[in-house]
Amino acid sequence: MTLNVSRRSLLALGAGLGASTLLGGTAMARAPKQGTQTPYWHRFVLGEAEVTVVSDGPLPLGDPSGTFTGVPKEEVKKMLADNFLNPDNVVLEQNSPIVNTGDKLILFDTGMGTSQAFGPTTGRQQKSMMEAGIKPGDIDAVVLSHAHIDHIGGIVDANDKPLFPNAQYYITQSDYEFWTDEGKMGSPLKDFIVHARKNLLPVKDRLVFIKDGQEFLPGVQAIAAPGHTVGHTIFMVTSAGKSFAFLGDLSHHAVLLLERPRMEFSYDTDPKQAAASRVKLLEMLAANKIAVMSYHFAWPGYGHVAKAGEGFHYYPEPMQMLL
C-alpha cells in the first residue's frame, strides 16, 4: 500500500494536532531555565598520563587597537570580524593543563588569582579545580611560563597564603629577578611588579630555577621562548611517546598572531624578539605535527598548528570522551 501525503496535508495534520492538544489533550509543561554555567574543566589522555585542563575564566582585553600593533587597526578588526569574533573586544581564555603522570601532579600557570585588573570574569582556577575533583594540596609541582599577572596570580590567596602548600615552583631565574625587582616599582611596570612580588616571594624557598633544554621534571622539558618576557618559556610534555607543547604566551590569539605572526603585542617586553620566537617555534611545532596547548586560545586550547602562507592556522582537537 502506498501512502500519498502532500505538504498541505502535513501542515493541516500539524495544525489539527496542535488544536486538539490545546482543546482536549494534556499540554507539556515548560522546563525551567537552569541559569548555571557548565563546569570549566576538560580531561583527556596523553600516552600514560592524564591531563585535566582547568580554566581561570575569560580575560577581556577590549579594543584591539593599541594592543595588537604593526598592522593597520582596520585590518585587525577585519581579521576578527571575518572569523566571527567581536572586532571591538578581544577576549582571551586562560587554560591551565594539570598533568597527572602517575607519580606527580603538575599544574602549568595559575591564573589571575585575586586581581581583577582585567575584570571580574577571571580568578576561577581554584573553583575549576574543585569541579574537576583536584585538591590544591595534591599538586606536587607548579610550572610557570613567566611571571605576568595572569600566570602567577593564583599562587597565593587574598591573605598571601600559598594555595599549593605541597608544591615546588619552577620558573626561569631571569623572569623571577626581572619581575620581583623592587627597583622597578616607580616604573610603568609597577602593577606587574607588585603582583609578582605578592605571589612569588612567599614561595621563594620552594622555587627551582629552570634552563633552556632542561628536562626538570620527568616528561617535562623547558624550551626558551624569550621576548614576551625576558625568561618566557614553553614546555614540551611527553608520556609514552605522545607529546604536546604548552605554549604559555607564545601566541595570545589563534587568529591575529597566527595568521600574522610578526604582528606585535603591546604586553611583550621585546615585541620583535617575541615575534621571532613565535615564528621559529611555531614552524618547529607545525613541521613536526606536535600538538599544542595554548593558555589563551578558545577553550580548552588544545589542537595543532599548520603552516598557512606566511603564517599559521590553528586546528582545535576534538574533545576526547573518557570511557
How far is Cα 283 from Cα 84, in angstroms, rounded to an integer? 26
Cβ atoms of residues 146 and 231 within 8 Å: yes
Cβ atoms of residues 115 and 97 within 8 Å: no
pLDDT of residue 323: 62
pLDDT of residue 62: 95
Instruction: State the pairing for strand pair 168-171/141-143.
Output: parallel
DSSP string, 77-126: HHHHHHTT--TT-EEE--EEEEEE-SS-EEEE----TT--TT-TT---HH
How far is Cα 70 from Cα 268, in angstroms, rounded to an integer? 13
Residue 176 Cα distances to 168, 196, 209, 229, angstroms: 15, 8, 9, 10
User: What would you measure as the largest C-alpha separation in the chain, in angstroms?
Assistant: 91
pLDDT of residue 267: 96
Residue stretches of the chain with pLDDT short of 70: 1-29, 323
Q: How many CB atoms lie within 10 A of CB 162?
A: 17
pLDDT of residue 21: 47
Whole-model pTM? 0.90
pLDDT of residue 37: 80
Query: Where do the H-state alpha helices sit in the chain?
Result: 7-23, 73-82, 125-131, 149-152, 173-179, 190-200, 256-259, 271-287
pLDDT of residue 34: 87
pLDDT of residue 245: 98
pLDDT of residue 4: 56
